[in-house]
Amino acid sequence: MSEGRDEDGRTDLSAISLWQRIREFSSTALATAARTSPARLALTVFTAMIGLVTLLLMSPLAASDGQATGFRDAVFTAVSAICVTGLTTVDTATHWSTFGLVVLMVAMKIGGLGVLTLASLLGLSVMRSMGLAQRIITARETRAEQLAEVGSVLRTIVITSTAFEVLTFLALVPYMIATEHGTGTSVFYGAFYAISAFNNAGFVPDPGGISQYLGDPFFSIPISTAVFMGSLGFPVVLVLVKRWRTPHHWTLHAKLTLATSGILLVAGMLGYLAMEWSNPHTLGREGFGSKVLASLFASVMPRSGGFSTLDIASLEPETRLFTDLLMFIGGGSGSTGGGIKVTTFALLALSIVAEARGDRDVEVFGRRIPQETIRQAIGVLVMSASVVFIATFLTLQLTPFSLDQVLFEVLSAFGTVGLSTGITPHLGDAATYILIVCMYLGRIGPMTLGAALALRSRSRVVRLPSERPIVG
């Protein structure tokens, strides 16, 4: 008698797969959610993933000592992983078991894909198609040129990100083996570092930390390259992949992101080199080549990488302030990085230059920037600065730490960077939850705000008389 049939050979309805029923229900639910509110669906999926990872990390299987991890540490780590930040309240290398580290790797990979990308991929896998509303929202994040391209762009994003991670893995594993980590450990560390680097997460699985690799080209170059490529953003990476032979056909967004990121990279390297040159606790005792490479590595990380071969607590005060600025700027739009984004920073700088010159329009690379885009950039700046101010103020009220320590930690959380002065594990519960909110808003807030500002465009039949107030 075949499975799923009764003695008379008729189909037994009770034998219908439970998975098939769940899939049908999920398909209907996701289709409805995608049509009514794609953005809300994305945030719901993102938050649900944080909840799932939290539960997995609270399991005794996830801890190296076999004891269940407390809710505060589990949810903080889950948010940090999904938001690809890297801040921790427990030591990643010693607290988590192999199972726990695998959970973190999966969380970093999912978080790096992005909120809307994740929701769209889920919709594609369940429904095999995407609604018009979901295509529009997803196209806005991925910068697909046509709505028909959205599905192929999503697949290209997954393939491209995985390809960069594999290349980083292949570059690191032989070196790990050569430095006597053991074959199994080297393979695991290589995979973990590759995912953590490209997705700008900054989690470190090695109990020895990465200070041991200060000025080491075989570690620093693959990691910093992966972080930098991840921080450019999928819209830029896709342009580079498709049109690398024809730079004159690159989009304005790609040109602006690459130019600004390059300027910030060089300025950051020179800044770290100048300010830390004689500091005996960081670069003071290193040779010239090691100083240059370590400064370059340090310049890449505030994009949202979070790795540090230098002791952040030992940096000069002016260097930490300089890092604050870089973390606030963050990475590219649609990237695994946080902050206000390099394009926002570039547009604000260009608008200031245009105003100083008395130019009517903001222009760059032979294109005029619409005033609505400048207004969006200002909105993102003000909203982000407000979040940082409120979080810093509240954390100062709740902890005994200094302003420069608290501001650094808040900016690191909001910028989803992961660099730390070392105070995060010592914060109280209330201050810890403030950083959780900062990480969540830093990963979602500016993007959501930008989309909301872009969508809220209304025309008015009657316009009020204009009058210019005094500015400055």
pLDDT at 32: 55
Nearest Cα neighbor of 303 from 374, 423, 202, 220 is 202
pLDDT of 459 > 80? The answer is: no
Which residues lie below 8 Å from residue 257, measured CB to CB, with a gap of 6+? 232, 233, 236, 332, 333, 342, 343
User: pLDDT tens digit string along 220-241?
Assistant: 999 999 999 988 887 788 788 8
Distance from C-alpha of 223 to C-alpha of 347, rounded to nearest angstrom: 29
Structure tokens at 206: 């090695």
For the cut 70, the answer to whether the pLDDT of residue 124 exceeds it is no
| pLDDT attached to residue 122 | 44
Say yes or no to pLDDT of 461 above 50: yes
Strands 367-369 and 362-364: antiparallel
Count of positions (residues) in the chain = 472
pLDDT of residue 1: 42
The string of pLDDT tens digits covering residues 47-78 is: 888 999 999 999 999 999 999 999 999 999 99
Instruction: With cut-offs at 50, 70 and 90, classify the pLDDT of residue 446.
Output: low
Residue 114: band (very low, low, confident or very high) from pLDDT cuts 50, 70, 90 = low
Q: Do residues 446 and 384 make contact, with C-beta atoms less than 8 angstroms apart?
A: yes
Quick: pLDDT tens for 356-397. 888 888 888 888 998 888 988 898 899 899 999 999 999 999
Q: Which residues of 328-355 are buried (b: 16+ CB within 10 A; e: fewer)?
A: bbbbbbbbbbbbbbbbbbbbbebbeebe
